[in-house]
Amino acid sequence: MTESINAVSKKSGLPPGSLIHVGSVLETVTRMTVIDYSEDNVKEKEIQSVDEFLKYKNRDTMTWVIIEGLTNVSIIEQIGAIFGIHQLVLEDILNTNQRPKFEEYDDHLYIVLKCLLPENEYFSVTYEQISLLIFKNIVFTFKEKKDDLLYPILQRIRAGKSRFRSFGSDYLTYAILDTIVDQNFILLDSLDDEITELEDSLLASEATPDMLSTIQKLKREVISIRRYVSPLRELIAEMLRSESELISEKTHIYLKDVSDHAIRVVESIELYREILTSLLDIYVSSVSNKMNAVMKVLTVFSSIFIPLTFLTGIYGMNFEYMPELKWEWAYPILWTVFITIPVLLLIYFKKKKWL
């Protein structure tokens, strides 16, 4: 069955400002991981309660908190209370139907975006909403799922060789954005494969109804991906325009790099959309071509045998006065006609390029 584009928003009807998880429940248990690092040190810990954050609040070291699973609303509520997050931001974190956006608050920034996760077999995409709360020394990452999406960043922090440890929360933000945007390239590669294969088999003119539904499925996916990818460009542009102290001048070049990648993704998506549209046109042409071929066979058969059958009909009549019936050479002569007519017609059809 075709996937829904507009997730049922079970909140409609509720007063604004009610905290409730909206979306398909991907994880029933919430996992919280704290990575605390400075130039010299890295600590990594899985914590059970929000109270354990408190000690990180006013430290000098960078703290990255990853919260995976959004069903435990009270955790979000507590974080909101401790760090002074606006009620609407908390709602947005919990409601997984958000459009990617960037918002600036007094002492923190809020980013929400979608990560595209390609599925294995057949081309199909799932989305994971990722929210970032960026404070001076703390970055919260809220994810719907426990997966290893951010694992490479963790690795780099642990390794300690990269720029991470000496940069602030803006560089960590960049690293997360970069990871999420680059995720799209994997998707585009598999999309490219599917479309190219489809195009090749379509032009080899074996249009089948299956192809039609593949085209429509891919088109829907492309439309749906574009929806989540295209706001990224504006999101990063807003970050660059922002005058917040939380985004330092030297991070700009990194954000521009992510922006370049995002533009490339959006451009590719647009190209695929165009190609899919023209594939549909080609499909239609292909079906017409096939029908044409069928029609020609019918016409050739009918045009050759219908006149001949008429001839046999004549000499099958039972009139008493039909002189030809008694001629000795009538039958062989008729056979000559039976052979001549088709030959002439076949030459005619050949000339018309129907054969």
Rounded to an integer, what distance in angstroms lies between the CA atom of residue 197 and that of residue 200?
Answer: 5
Nearest to 266 by CA among 234, 306, 314, 299: 234
In one-letter notation, the amino acid at residue 226 is R
The least distance separating a second copy from the CB of residue 94, rounded to whole angstroms, comes to 13
Whether 94 contacts 19, CB under 8 Å: yes
Considering the rule CB under 8 A, would residue 106 count as an interface residue with a second copy?
no
The CA distance from 355 to 350, in Å, is 5
Binding positions for a second copy, 288-307, rule CB under 8 A: 288-292, 294-299, 301-303, 305-307
In the complex, least distance from residue 346 CB atom to a second copy, rounded to whole angstroms? 13
Cβ burial 73-97 (10 Å sphere, 16+ → b, else e): bebbbebbeeeebeeebbbbbbbbb
Residues 128-167, mask of contacts with a second copy (x by CB under 8 A): ------------------------x---x-----xx----
Residue with smaller CB distance to a second copy, 122 or 329 = 329
DSSP type of residue 58: T
Please name the amino acid found at residue 254.
Y
Smaller CB separation from a second copy, 56 or 342: 342
| Under rule CB under 8 A, residue 124 binds a second copy | no
E strands, the chain, where?
A: 31-37, 42-47, 62-68, 101-104, 109-118, 125-134, 138-143
Which of 317, 287, 315, 304 lies closest to 350, judged by CA?
A: 304
Size of the site for a second copy (CB under 8 A): 120
Q: How far is CA 71 from the centre of its chain?
A: 26
Q: How far is the CB of 201 from a second copy (least distance, A)?
A: 10
Nearer CB in complex with a second copy: 63/259:
259
Q: Could you tell me the smallest distance in angstroms from the CB atom of residue 252 to a second copy? A: 11
Could you tell me how many residues make up the chain?
Answer: 355
Q: Which residue type does 87 have?
A: Q
- Rounded Cα distance between 111 and 45, Å, is 24
Q: Which of 6, 48, 58, 120 binds a second copy (CB under 8 A)?
A: 6
Site for a second copy in 191-230 (CB under 8 A): 191-193, 196, 199-200, 203, 205-206, 209, 212-213, 216, 219-220, 223-224, 227
Nearer to a second copy among residue 122 and residue 310 (C-beta): 310
Residue 125 in contact with a second copy, rule: CB under 8 A: no
Closest-CA residue to 27 (of 65, 66, 72, 64): 72
- Binder among 20, 25, 47, 322 for a second copy (CB under 8 A): 322
354 lines the binding site for a second copy (CB under 8 A): yes
Q: Report 63-92 residues binding a second copy (CB under 8 A).
A: 86, 88, 92
Does position 16 interact with a second copy (CB under 8 A)? The reply is yes
Q: Is 315 an interacting residue with respect to a second copy (CB under 8 A)?
A: yes
CB of 132 to a second copy, least distance (A): 17
Of positions 284, 339, 344, 347, contacts a second copy by CB under 8 A: 284
Per CB under 8 A, does 275 bind a second copy?
A: yes
State the minimum distance, in angstroms, from the CB of residue 220 to a second copy: 7
Residue 337 lies near a second copy (rule: CB under 8 A): no
Cα–Cα distances (Å) from 217 to 121, 124, 186, 214, 252, in that order, read 14, 9, 19, 5, 38
Quick one: which of 188, 145, 176, 154 has its CA closest to 239?
Answer: 176
Question: 113, 53, 63: which is closest to 83 by C-alpha?
Answer: 53
Instruction: Mark residues 232-271: x for contact with a second copy by CB under 8 A, - for none.
Output: ---------------------xx-xx--x--xx--xx--x
